[in-house]
Amino acid sequence: MKKYRAGKIKREHSVIEQLWPVLEHIAECDLVTSIIPGPISPLGTHGFEVTFQRFTETGLRLLAKNGAAVQEVYLVAPDKQSTLEWLAAEGIVAWKPPRKATPQRRPVPEPLRTVVLPSDMACSVCGRAMRAGTRAAQLGRKRYTYAHVRCAQK
């Protein structure tokens, strides 16, 4: 089977009908080197949409869905992040940059009471071993966890 390429769009497979104008618009972008539509699979949704799926080694993977089918579309792009931002700015895909999550330390629950441990176990705060028969702070409300008394006071 002879592979045919017109401009940046590879035409090895047939393409969902509403996808042609979108592919031609993407081909106008200087950030995209090549566009490779994949095979079409049946689907039972309504409406037409193009969604960003993931980054690949060479670019991006998009999914184009219409009322009866879904098709993978691979974009070859050296600068993946800028390409994705361009696609979002043009309204081709719905994507927002992720918010930078600040790592938050989980607060230690207030100790309920001090108990004598019936068996060896690990401290739920620092992870070090606690021997049976030693005093420990009982933490939590329904599921009790145990910690060194000095760890629970921090």
Backbone angles phi, psi at 148, to 5 degrees: -55, 150
CB atoms near residue 37 (< 10 Å): 22
Residue 117 in any domain: the answer is yes
Q: Are both 20 and 82 inside the same structural domain?
A: yes
Q: Are both 79 and 133 inside the same structural domain?
A: no
Q: Are both 54 and 85 inside the same structural domain?
A: yes
Q: Are both 12 and 72 inside the same structural domain?
A: yes
Count up the domains in the chain and report the number.
2
* Residue showing tokens 């620092």: 126
Q: Are both 9 and 81 inside the same structural domain?
A: yes
In this prediction, residue 107 carries a pLDDT of 63
Q: Are both 124 and 70 inside the same structural domain?
A: no
Q: Which of the listed residues 54, 89, 124 is the one where a domain comes to its end?
A: 89
pTM over 0.85: no
Residue 138 in any domain: the answer is yes
CA distance 97 to 55: 14
Residue 45 in any domain: the answer is yes
Q: Are both 44 and 119 inside the same structural domain?
A: no
CA distances, 63 to each of 11, 33, 38, 86 (Å): 17, 18, 10, 17
Q: Are both 75 and 43 inside the same structural domain?
A: yes
Whether the Cβ atoms of residue 40 and residue 72 lie closer than 8 Å to each other: no
Which H helix or E strand runs over 27? helix 19-27
**Successive 10-residue mean pLDDT values, the chain, 154 residues:** 67 79 86 86 79 88 86 89 88 77 62 82 88 87 81 76
Strands (DSSP E) along 46-87, which ranges? 49-55, 59-65, 69-76
Residue 101 in any domain: the answer is no
Q: Are both 133 and 64 inside the same structural domain?
A: no
In this prediction, residue 151 carries a pLDDT of 83
Burial of 83 (C-beta count, 10 Å sphere; 0-12/13-18/19+): buried
Q: Are both 76 and 134 inside the same structural domain?
A: no
Q: Are both 15 and 48 inside the same structural domain?
A: yes
- Residue 118 corresponds to which tokens in the numbers above? 């019936």
Backbone angles phi, psi at 140, to 5 degrees: 95, 170
Domain that holds residue 119: 111-152
Q: What is the DSSP letter of 142?
A: S
- Among residues 103, 143, 130, 142, which one has the least CA distance to residue 151? 130
Residue 99 in any domain: the answer is no
Residue 120 in any domain: the answer is yes
